[in-house]
Amino acid sequence: MTGFIFLDKPKDITSFVAANKLKRILNVKKTGHTGTLDPMATGVLPVMLGGATRFSQYLPTHDKAYRAKILLGTVTDTLDITGTVIKRSKVNVSAERLEEVIKHFIGEISQLPPMYSAVSKDGVRLYKLARQGIEIEREARNVIIHYIKLLDVPDANNEFEIEVSCSAGTYIRSLASDIGEALGCGATIAELRRIEANGISIEKTVTLEAVQKYADEGRIAELITPCDVMLGCYPAVNISEKQAVRFENGGELDLKRIRGEKKDGFCRVYSPEKKFLGLGRISLPENTLFVEKKLVY
């Protein structure tokens, strides 16, 4: 079984555990996922099945979108409500003040990765250091916030909701914390839901329960997206039957005998039967198509 399933990750489990649950349901040897979600977060989690895991590094990087409920007046060590509260403050924030502050976070901004994150420092994940009570200096990174929509103004519990579209690598927990700091009362994430990732919207996702139902009914193929669809950003080339055998054996191919768009870089390679064979790498100076990554079904 090879391809992608777009999972609506449930709350309170890691992305790794979610992918492993799919592995058991579908009885496949290997699964992987793209774009880790925090355990408390839900939403779009593309999961790779079988041979699809070979292509994780080649998937195009897309912008992402989230819906977040933010609690004002509370600061935690993890920047979300699962952490330890380290500060509480009185809240006196009007909707007008909130909207004004939010505007300053739209566009290219500098953001400091949270200590509780998968970012590596000298080969060690930051969250592992954070669990030991160690906080180290981190390098700020530039990210892009395309828009922030205020969906709901602060209620009696000092919670409000936003929708955010941002570049890959953006931490919504850090964004919420920075907004809270700008408001002078602090803030933390109360709920987080990813509604778009890798070009996949939340409407295209399925729950673990739905996957189990489809598997029980023998209809799991209806949920699987082929690898070449996810790699659609690369041009397609068609090769002959003999070339297909050579490609599958790892041999390079002469460009003169290949049909399709030929330009330097990666390309999707198809057999005469339109079977996706994997990714090739074209070198125009060498007039050659090299095998970059074969698809193993």
41-91 per-position pLDDT tens digit = 999 999 999 999 999 999 988 899 999 999 999 999 999 999 999 999 999
Task: Give yes or no for residue 24 having a pLDDT over 80.
Answer: yes
Could you tell me which residues come within 8 angstroms of residue 17 by beta carbon, excluding any fewer than 6 positions away?
Answer: none
pLDDT for 113:
77
- Selecting among 8, 12, 38, 254, the annotated active-site residue is 38
Active site residue 155: no
Percentage of the chain exceeding pLDDT 90 = 83
Could you tell me which residues come within 8 angstroms of residue 218 by beta carbon, excluding any fewer than 6 positions away?
Answer: none
The whole-model pTM stands at 0.89
